Amino acid sequence: MGLIVAQDRYGAKRHVRTGLASRQALVAYIFLMPALIYFTVFFFYPILVELWTSMQSTTDFVGLANYVQALQDQRVLESFKVTLIFAVCVTTFNVLIGLGLALLLDRPIKGRTIFRALFLVPYMTSMVIVGLMWRNILDPMVGIFNRILLAVGLPTQDWLTNYHMALPVIIGVTIWQGVGYTMVLFLAGLQGIPTEFYEAARVDGAGPWARFRYITLPLLAQTTLFVVIISAIGSLQAFAQAFIITQGGPADATRFFIFHVYNTAFNENNLGYASALTFLMFIVILVLTFFQLRVSKQAVEY
């Protein structure tokens, strides 16, 4: 065994670690050392450097002034508002459409494997490629969408230059790319539900809606929570869509928070202020992660 039980001079029992257990612990730490070094050098140290940078201006230490300015900066608040709308819409439709596709493709229909693969292909494609593809498709002059509208006698649309249309288009492109991954997660959750539950419900006379409401939805609660959290976190960090497709326009309609941070850091050369903005978003994501950990403790068992 690794431990032996001994008694001290007062008769109290205590555990003494043997040499074998100590050597085993040392070996474990040696194997963990590369991972610890990696996270220290490429994760924890950069965070500390970024935190220090966020408390500086171009030349001087300013403390929390950058954070105070960020909370009062109207353009920062507007970019966060745009990002929040984007995240809520993408997350909601990702869950609804992904769950619908999973329910459909979980049934024994012909060619379901092919359909699953087709829906997953956009997710496996780089967002850079997806963005360039949709920018060309939606081009007001040579884009295929406007050519189709002209062919059927309908007016063309300024998909990416109309203030009220640009953000919904970006939302749609993002959902199109990510819904396949959401579908796969829900498929995994559906296939983990014991069929005995559905069979017992049918015997009791429960219809499709009742089975979905009282069996499927409750037992997919953990999967749904996971999908919501990862989709929300990913959406709050959206950057490539705005950078590639719209450049944050028109009139900041698609100026996401991270895109604003990028411009602040590299176009305005204000690294301190950009670092403060980054930490504010980090706090928001940290709160979401904490929420996930608290809620996930209420695990569904069957």
Is residue 181 pLDDT above 90, yes or no?
yes
Q: Is the pTM of this model over 0.95?
A: no
Q: For 159-183, what is the mean pLDDT?
A: 94
Residue 61 has phi, psi (to 5 degrees) of -80, 125
What would the two tokens of residue 137 be? 């498709």
Is residue 11 pLDDT above 50, yes or no?
no
Tell me the C-alpha distance between 170 and 242, whole Å: 8
Convert the pLDDT of each residue in 243-278 to its tens digit: 999 999 899 999 999 999 999 999 988 989 999 999
Tell me the C-alpha distance between 180 and 115, whole Å: 10
Convert the pLDDT of each residue in 182-213 to its tens digit: 999 999 999 988 889 988 988 888 888 999 99
User: What SS3 class is residue 4?
Assistant: strand
Is residue 2 pLDDT above 60, yes or no?
no
Kindly indicate the confidence band of residue 49, based on its pLDDT and cuts at 50, 70 and 90: confident
Kindly indicate the confidence band of residue 10, based on its pLDDT and cuts at 50, 70 and 90: very low
Kindly indicate the confidence band of residue 20, based on its pLDDT and cuts at 50, 70 and 90: confident
Is residue 282 pLDDT above 60, yes or no?
yes
Q: For 74-91, what is the mean pLDDT?
A: 95
Kindly indicate the confidence band of residue 178, based on its pLDDT and cuts at 50, 70 and 90: very high
* Distance, CA of 45 to chain centre: 24
Q: Which domains, and CATH codes, for the chain?
A: 3-53 (no CATH), 72-295 (1.10.3720.10)
* Under 8 Å between Cβ of 20 and 5: no
Kindly indicate the confidence band of residue 21, based on its pLDDT and cuts at 50, 70 and 90: confident
Is the peptide bond preceding residue 250 cis, with omega within 30 degrees of 0?
Answer: yes
- In eight-state DSSP terms, residue 5 is E
- Residue 13 is predicted with a pLDDT of 47
What would the two tokens of residue 175 be? 């959902």
Q: For 91-118, what is the mean pLDDT?
A: 90
- Residue 77 is predicted with a pLDDT of 94
* Under 8 Å between Cβ of 171 and 157: no
Q: Which of 173, 177, 185, 280 is nearest to 230 (CA)?
A: 185
Tell me the C-alpha distance between 60 and 265, whole Å: 16
